[in-house]
Amino acid sequence: VKSEGPKLVPFFKATCVYFVLWLPTSSPSWFSALIKCLPIFCLWVFLLAHGINFLVAHRSASRILAGLIFSAVGDAFLIWQEQGYFIHGLLMFAITHILYSSAFGMKPLDLKAGLLMGLVSSSCYAFLYSYLSGPFTYLVAVYIALIGFMGWRAVAGMQLYNDLWTWTKLSACIGAMLFMVSDLTIAVNKFCFPVPYSRVIIMATYYAAQMLIALSAVESRDEEDFKKRS
């Protein structure tokens, strides 16, 4: 934490700038898009600070970086969601979840965690279903399946029962859960009914999720440092 914390200072500052400026969503602009995406840009820098060789050598880290890039594009699209770009943002974040799932890997499988995440995802879609219409009926279903799968792979990596967990796996797990909370709040607020303080909930959980998932990418570096010290 001591070694990674200073690299995250720009991210925390950029997040503070977003919440301090609190630009109105009713008047989207490239400036508001920049302010919204700035914390994610800082997470790009956080991963790049570990070195290009590190990213090339560890595909999980490079996939998380790619996911952050697609996230920033999705954030920009969502600035103009009322102008018809919501589906574009949805697609960008769907790709992000595929990349994150790939980064987390398929080992260990942990079918119990998969069943649990499947039940949670199904329950969320069942709740939203009656409010959906047109293409969103199946687009939201696919999106929920993808983020639920991503959540499964993050939870499966924890392995709490046999003491094989690490702080980076814990951050991936918590990050995935916060991402699901953020996206569920977006869906309920957009399709069902207004959620009090929805923007604060959505963005606070979203930024925290992205930071934790970015932190999970440094696990390979931790393992290398441990081997060197040994």
User: pLDDT at position 165, please?
Assistant: 72
Over the stretch 157-182, which tens digit does the pLDDT of each residue have? 887 666 567 888 999 999 999 999 99
For 55-84, letters b (16+ CB in 10 Å) and e give beebebbbbbbbbbbbbbbbbbbbbbbeee
Distance of CA 208 to the CA centre of its chain: 8
Distance of CA 174 to the CA centre of its chain: 10
Integer Cα distance of 211 and 207 in angstroms: 6
Give percent of the chain with pLDDT exceeding 90: 85
Q: How distant, in Å, are the alpha carbons of 64, 93, 117 from that of 69?
A: 9, 10, 26
DSSP state of 166: -
Domain with 163, as residue range(s), is 4-228
User: pLDDT at position 166, please?
Assistant: 83
Contact between residue 73 and residue 92 where contact means Cβ atoms under 8 Å apart: yes
pLDDT band at 229, cuts 50/70/90? very low
Task: Return the SS3 of 26.
Answer: coil
Residue 32 reports pLDDT greater than 70: yes
Nearest one of 151, 145, 148, 153 to 108, comparing CA atoms? 153
Q: What is the mean pLDDT of the chain?
A: 92
84: left (phi over 0), alpha (psi -120 to 50) or beta: left
Q: How many domains does the chain have?
A: 1
Residue 35 token pair = 């302010």
Residue 23 token pair = 């630009």
- Max mean pLDDT among 49-53, 106-110, 169-173, 197-201 falls in 197-201
Q: What is the average per-residue pLDDT within 52-59?
A: 92
Over the stretch 38-48, which tens digit does the pLDDT of each residue have? 999 999 999 99
Q: What is the average per-residue pLDDT within 86-102?
A: 98
Q: Which residue has the tokens 């943002």?
A: 89
